[in-house]
Structure 1
Amino acid sequence: MNTIKQNIKKVARPIYHKVVPEKVRARRAARLNRSLEYETWITMLEANENYDEKFEYNPKISILVPVYNVLDRHLIPCIESVLNQVYTNWELCLADDCSSWDSVRETLAKYEGNEKIKIVYRTENGHISRCTNSALEIATGEFVAFMDCDDVLRPNALYEVVKKLNEDSNLDFIYSDEDKIDDDGFNRHMPHFKPDWSPDTLMSHMYTCHFGVYRRSIANEIGGLRAGYEGAQDYDFTLRFTEKTNNIAHIDKILYHWRERKESTALDPSAKPYIFEAAKKSKEDALERRGLKANLEMVDIMYQYRVNYISQTNPLVSVIIPSKDNYKVLKRCIETLYEITRYRNFEVILVDNGSNDENKKLYQGLSDKYKFKYVYEKMDFNFSRMCNIGAREAKGEYYLFLNDDIEIINEEWLERMVGHAELEHVGAVGAKLLYPNSKLIQHIGVINIANGPVHAFAGLSDDNIYYFGRNKIDYNWLTVTAACLLVKASKFERVNGFNEEMPVTYNDVEFCFKLVEAGYYNVVRNDAILYHHESVSRGDDLLSKEKFNRLMSEQNHMYELHPEFKDKDPFYNSNLAQHAADFSYNMFKESKGKCTVSENIENFEICKKVINAIDRVYVGDKCVIEGWAFFNEKPYNGEIKIWLRSSEKSYIITTKRVYRSDLAIHFKRKVGADMSGFICEFDGVDAGKYDIYVCCKNKATRTKQHIVINK
């Protein structure tokens, strides 16, 4: 109705023609498409959730909510979302910070009779840190959870936390994914699908945020929240808390809805500028506690302070460059390395696996000019072996593996990488690599998806901000490229260097896997920027069938060595795409798994309005039926079931939805057609030949296919 009124008003006004730039229109269209995709993702992922698991360990969780001058339409949904939790062993600790609005006290009074709700009324306003501590003082739970008074929990928030604690009862800190809701609470958007525990990412920004659950004994030990850090009080708290424990887990589900209000930082980070200074102070304190030296630099576009660590020891860095018959490219690399790099305590080891006589002389000439070590050993190309040879010849405390097609364009790049590599918990440090003479991204980190390891956001412009600043502030990644990789020599030796059984591809990925398995965290510094003239020397592995087969062979070998990383990347959320590198949504996450089978006692009306197609029928150790279906009357989507029918038996099998963009294109006018895909995997059906019916809205259509099941 409101929409109709608004449209009438618009018609009544004079019409002014305004030219909207094409880029602006494209951004608007992209935002709308992203919003529609997220709505689809919500429908697919959250529709099939169930919360019927019983737990042996049922700790009490105290939810701490500081309250101050909040509207009823925000406060009441907040409180009710706690009351509606599936998990029941909780208490809600509300602290009113001497609100001046009568409505706040009146609303809180309505909940005073609930035995699971505790309310403390402060006699003076102390701001959010002191107010939250007042809630902490009355908490009795083994764990405490922070919640803002205008936000909303999903019904399974505490259930999922306790489920995780039953997997590991030693956990001290658990955080989840989150999204935003607008002021009226209906429009969910901007989901933050977070990585697993990432200490360097946390030093970049408060990525864990909501929903955070902490062991109360440690929260009390560190003194709760600190006054004077308002706006970043939870950030300061989490930095201090994680210095006390490594028992940290992440739940890759949306459990918290952060409300966007006009004055909220959820809507506009610049709304409260004092937050920046509080975050800066939190980082400065953390650095002092940890005995580290660093400069804090404002990244304006991100409203965050970057931590630029200052080297404590000025160590010798051994720059190891594999190369063969590539003089012009190598010359540019060497010249820019020596002429531009400000950090001077480095040596170069050039490893040549068999250049021809002419190039060998040219290489030797470069070596004589710049006085670096030239190692010549004729052999088949094996990048791993060449790197290991260079390491054996190196004298440095740190090894920098550098492709000969790298061009140095920033004088501070190496000192920034060295400062970060000196951190005890850090494994490999990578740089941001751009395609030459451009702002196009070649490397800011590698994600390990179902298709195998790929460069995140490759080929996109670095002028834009991608997925919570992945290309602007420093993040932990599972893998960084050996085109420019810095690692401490002792850590390199600890994981036995590069695997020489992987001579061409994935050797750097496998090396980074080993570092993560050893307990280190790999990181990319987005302020160490270089040009990468990629594949000048070796060519593209995808253009040759022989090279592609070798690529896949080495990938398979890598996963055989590290099966825990097959289809798994701790630093890339499972809710993000597994077949793309742009951090779009994973529409297929919950599309597989066994479905419920029951003997049919329902009567379905046979009807031609159930439009469908069966794409695949498979019988093996389990049965699989895939396809799409919808009821050809508005609304089109209904619950899809498979009806198997023989002369003797009849079964109904539930399905899981599958996102089908092809159906959205084909059936343009049918809203919801993209949600009409399905898959069902099942067993427990007697042997026999069954006709396949597809059911939707209690109507069924017989398909042209059947399934033969042999027990």
Structure 2
Amino acid sequence: MKNPFRFFEHEQILAYKAAHPALWENVKPIRKAFVFFWRPWLKIWRASGAGKLWAKVRFKAGRKLAERNLAASLALDAAEIQRQRETMFPEEHRFSILVPLYNTPLQFLKEMILSVQEQTYPGWELCLADGSDDAHPEVGEFCLACSREDSRIVYRKLTENRGISENTNACIDMATGDYLSLFDHDDLLHPAALYEVMKSICEQQADFVYTDEMVFRSPDRTKIIATHFKPDFAYDNLMSNNYICHLSTFSRKLLEKAGPFRKECDGSQDHDIILRLTGCAEKIVHIPKILYYWRSHESSTASDIGTKTYAIEAGQRAVRDFLREKEKIDATVTSTDVYPTMYHVNRPVRGEPSVEVIIYAAGTADNEDVLRSGAEALRKMTAYHNLTVSVVGKTDETTLPQRLNEAVRSSKADYLVFLHGEVSVQNEKWLQEMLMLAQEERIGAVGGKVQFSDGTVRHAGLITGLGSRRTVGRSHFRVDANSAGYFGQLAIVEDVSAVSAEFMMVSRQKLDEADGLDEQYLETLFDADMCLKLAQKGLVSVYTPFALAQGGSIRQQYVDYGRETEHYLKDAARFRGKWADVLQRTDPYYNPNLSLDYADYRIRSMKKKRENGRRKK
């Protein structure tokens, strides 16, 4: 099909500009509109064709509609506001909201304070430590006026600006509450924020609570830039990125254990203190509701990390220091390519344990000569010496988990890697990247990133309850593998409920403790089943994008978690019966506000949320 955008080719544009300079200047607004609105779509058209372009248009339109519906659903009606205000909790707690001020724009300051005063839970105090310079006296004047009208607002003018960490410590010195909340001077709270936090504290005895959040384009909070629906507490995610961020609330006793803010971590001070607080917390609770509005404006971190480049090194330092203190290891922490404050944590591998890669036939990969050729290529690619490679062919007499269990029983290796015969590893250090995680006592299985030959995601972790059959679905399935994914999740090491046996490492000891692979499965879901058995023993599965494999196409796969094949339907029935209690709850590393029908982390529609209300958090 002829490209209808052909007249926008670069050479023709330059020729037109040279021939008609005056007209070119007169249409400048139109040109700017084209660059902003149309050029991204043109790139998609040229790269992928009309089908991908139409899919992208539908996705964008659907997301905007979902965001508008979401913004409307966040409003509380008068009856709900009254109900929350009249709620009597079994415990009494006072929240000290910590806000260090520095040259805060007056309009932002007014809106921030008003959002606190509108809280339906009244037991709070607002601690304002002002480090503004002499050119901004209006900050102190307005705060003093507010404090005279509302005694819950406590204001102190600092003698000097000592930086964000020391200024926040000054807020802590002012605080009298037994719980403290971190709040930026230009952001907003949802009216029910403290009510929901208080509810979690009373019901679950939480000493650390965090919520979901939304980034909006100032000054209109209904202009949504992004909605961050977070997983429940995920240790490895937090090592890679401060996904917790806002709103964070913690007990004073917990702060006394963790220690105050550290000046050397200015710029990533929240990441630093959240690492230390969660590192000694007894009960961490995630509230899957948007209760915090993060304002994006010209100089905010939400707008552009480039405006606060010092945050990058501070964040790396925070993670290094935490791992040195908590795990007694010296890790190397570097920024990923996708975003400078999303980190690649390189842990030291302990010793050189033996590893066996079991390349197995499944689907179209049933030629043992092809498998042995792949085994030789793997040996050449892999930069690790204590390695053996074996192949497992396909037979009609045995199921896939039976064949893999037999290979495991024949192995004497300390660690095992299952590798689908269709895929091949793509980076030399893939084994070290998986091994340094698999060696951790708290980690069960480790899954790498697998992409199809067309560059889209084949595997990047598994989500329980996702897909038409509500069994297990693939995270970011068919999304561009080079993209960051939802809030960078494709580009960082993260905790997941399960990983695929198409590219998985697990220690022999842990696999034996889980009684191996369930041989009652035919071809699918045995890997997710094994990961859930490990989870019952307190072990988490982990996805790493730094172990990369590629191969196959969507059309070549004769079994897919979402396709209705005979084997899959039988395996799915067994899985649902065995893990019914797990499937009744939202995957802890997903979020109940996200769709269970799509793998691209789109917002669940309001209608779907009502229909699926029976699914428990």
TM-score normalised per structure 1? 0.73
**Cα drift, residue 22 of structure 1:** 5.1
Q: Aligned-pair distance for 1:412?
A: 0.8
Q: 1:475 aligns with which of 470, 476, 494?
A: 494
1:194 aligns with 2:230: yes
Are 2:232 and 2:285, in contact at CA under 8 Å, matched by a contact in 1?
yes
1:253 Cα offset (Å)? 0.3
Aligned counterparts, 1:135-534, within 5 A: 135-169=171-205, 171-186=206-221, 187-289=223-325, 290-303=327-340, 304-323=342-361, 325-352=366-393, 354=395, 380-436=397-453, 438-448=454-464, 449=466, 451=468, 452=470, 453-533=472-552
Match for 1:85: what amino acid? Answer: Q
Counterpart position of 1:75? 109
Which moves more between the two structures, 274-283 or 499-508? 499-508
Matched residue SS, 2:254: helix
Task: Decide whether aligned partners of structure 1 residues 34 and 353 sit closer, same or farther in structure 2, where only a CA change above 3 A counts.
Answer: closer
Cα 1:559/1:296, change in 2 over 3 Å: same
- Tell me the equivalent position of 1:38: 67
Query: Partner of 2:138 in structure 1?
Result: 103
Counterparts of 1:536 and 1:386, CA distance in 2: 25
Q: Structure 1 pair 239/102, CA: closer, same or farther in 2 (3 Å)?
A: same
For residues 200 and 239 of structure 1, the distance between their equivalents in structure 2, rounded to whole angstroms, comes to 11
Aligned equivalent of 1:86, options 111, 120, 128: 120
Cα drift, residue 591 of structure 1? 1.9
Q: 1:278 to 1:487 in 2, by over 3 A?
A: same
Rounded to whole Å, the distance in 1 between the matches of 2:328 and 2:564 is 52
Q: Distance in 1 between matches of 2:552 and 2:216?
A: 44
The answer to which of 443-452 and 243-252 deviates more is 443-452
Contact 1:405 1:534 in 2 (8 A): no
- Structure-2 separation of matches of 1:481 and 1:496: 18
Separation in structure 1 between the aligned mates of residue 289 and residue 409 of structure 2, nearest angstrom: 46
Looking at CA atoms only, which structure, 1 or 2, has the larger radius of gyration?
A: 1
For 2:409 and 2:511, the matched residues in 1 are separated by 11
Q: What is the rounded CA distance, in whole Å, between the counterparts of 1:592 and 1:582 in structure 2?
A: 20
Shift of 1:46: 4.9
Task: Please state whether the residue corresponding to 2:165 is helix, strand or coil.
Answer: helix
Asked if the contact 1:128–1:230 (Cα under 8 Å) also holds between the matched residues in 2, the reply is: yes
Amino acid at match of 1:291: K
CA distance in 1, matches of 2:105, 2:492: 36
Whether the 8 Å contact between 1:93 and 1:117 is mirrored in structure 2 is yes
| SS at structure 1 position matched to 2:463 | strand
Equivalent AA in structure 1 for residue 358 of structure 2? I
Counterpart position of 1:55: 89
Distance 1:532 1:309, change over 3 A: farther
**Shift of the alpha carbon at 1:593?**
8.9
Q: Deviations 1:418-448 (Å, cap 9, x if unpaired)?
A: 0121222222111010113x42211111222
Deviation at 1:79, TM superposition (A): 1.2
Q: Could you report, residue by residue, the CA deviation over 1:4-57 in whole angstroms, capped at 9, with x for unpaired residues?
A: xxxxxxxxx933564656534669966565333201123246568945454212
Q: Secondary structure at the match of 2:408?
A: helix
C-alpha contact 2:442 2:538 (8 A) present in aligned 1: yes
Determine the C-alpha separation between the residues in 2 that align with 1:237 and 1:32. 38
Q: Please, what is the CA RMSD of the aligned residues?
A: 2.7
Structure 1 range deviating more: 573-582 or 396-405: 396-405
- With over 3 angstroms needed to count, the CA separation of the structure-2 counterparts of 1:567 and 1:218, relative to structure 1, is closer
2:564 and 2:235 mapped to 1: Cα distance?
A: 40
Unaligned 5+ runs, structure 1 = 1-12, 355-378, 595-621, 623-711
Q: Is the 8 A contact 1:409 1:530 kept in 2?
A: yes
Q: C-alpha distance in 2, partners of 1:386/1:535?
A: 24
- Please say if 1:554 is aligned against 2:574: yes
Deviation digits for residues 130-185 of structure 1, max 9, x if unmatched?
0100111122222111001111000000111111112211x221110001122214
Shift of the alpha carbon at 1:534?
Answer: 6.5
More strand by percentage: 1
For the Cα contact (< 8 Å) 2:368–2:391, is it kept in 1? Answer: no
Indicate conservation of the 8 Å contact 1:306/1:473, yes or no.
yes
Asked whether the 8 Å contact 2:492–2:545 carries over to 1, the reply is: yes
Question: In the TM superposition, what whole-angstrom CA distance separates every residue of 1:644-703 from its partner, at most 9, and x where no partner exists?
Answer: xxxxxxxxxxxxxxxxxxxxxxxxxxxxxxxxxxxxxxxxxxxxxxxxxxxxxxxxxxxx
Kindly provide the CA deviation profile for residues 211-268 of structure 1, in whole angstroms up to 9, marking residues without a partner as x.
0011211212322100121110011111122221252111100000011120111011
1:133 maps onto 2:169 in alignment: yes
1 or 2 for the larger relative contact order (CA 8 Å, sep ≥6)?
2
Match of 1:15 in 2: 27
Partner deviation per Cα, 1:598-633 (whole Å, 9 max, x = no partner): xxxxxxxxxxxxxxxxxxxxxxxx9xxxxxxxxxxx
Cα–Cα, structure 1 residues 122 and 538, in superposed 2: closer, same or farther, change >3 Å? Answer: closer
Q: Secondary structure at the match of 1:140?
A: coil
Is the 8 Å Cα contact of residues 196 and 570 (structure 1) preserved in structure 2? yes
1:174–1:212: 8 Å Cα contact kept in structure 2? yes
Report the secondary structure of 1:111's partner residue: helix
Give the superposition deviation at 1:570: 0.5
| Larger deviation, residues 475-484 vs 201-210 | 475-484
State the alpha-carbon separation in 1 of the partners of residues 250 and 608 from structure 2: 28
Letter of the 1:331 partner, please give it: R
Query: Does the 8 Å contact 1:574/1:589 carry over to 2?
Result: no
Taking the aligned partners of 1:544 and 1:96, their CA distance within structure 2 comes to 62
Structure 2 unaligned residues grouped into runs of 5+: 1-24, 45-52
Question: Is the partner of 2:338 in helix, strand or coil?
Answer: helix
Secondary structure of residue in 2 paired with 1:174: strand
Query: Which of 576, 589, 592 matches 1:571?
Result: 589
Q: Secondary structure at the match of 2:486?
A: coil
Number of the residue aligned with 1:608 = none
1:37 is paired with a residue whose SS is helix
Report matched runs for 1:548-697 at 5 Å: 548-560=568-580, 563-587=581-605, 588-592=607-611
- Looking at structure 1, the residues matched to 392 and 467 of structure 2 have their Cα atoms a distance apart, in angstroms, of 34
The 8 Å contact of residues 96 and 121 in structure 1, kept in 2 or not, is answered as yes
Q: Rate the CA distance shift 1:537–1:558 in 2: closer, same or farther, 3 A.
A: farther
Q: Which amino acid aligns with 1:381?
A: T
Higher fraction of helix: 2
Kept after mapping to 1: 8 A contact 2:452/2:554: no
For 2:401, give the aligned amino acid: S
Aligned counterparts of 2:314 and 2:438: Cα–Cα separation in 1: 27
Q: Which amino acid aligns with 2:382?
A: T
Contact in 2 for aligned 1:147/1:211 (Cα 8 Å): yes
Q: CA deviation at 1:497?
A: 2.2
Q: Give the CA deviation at 1:547.
A: 3.5
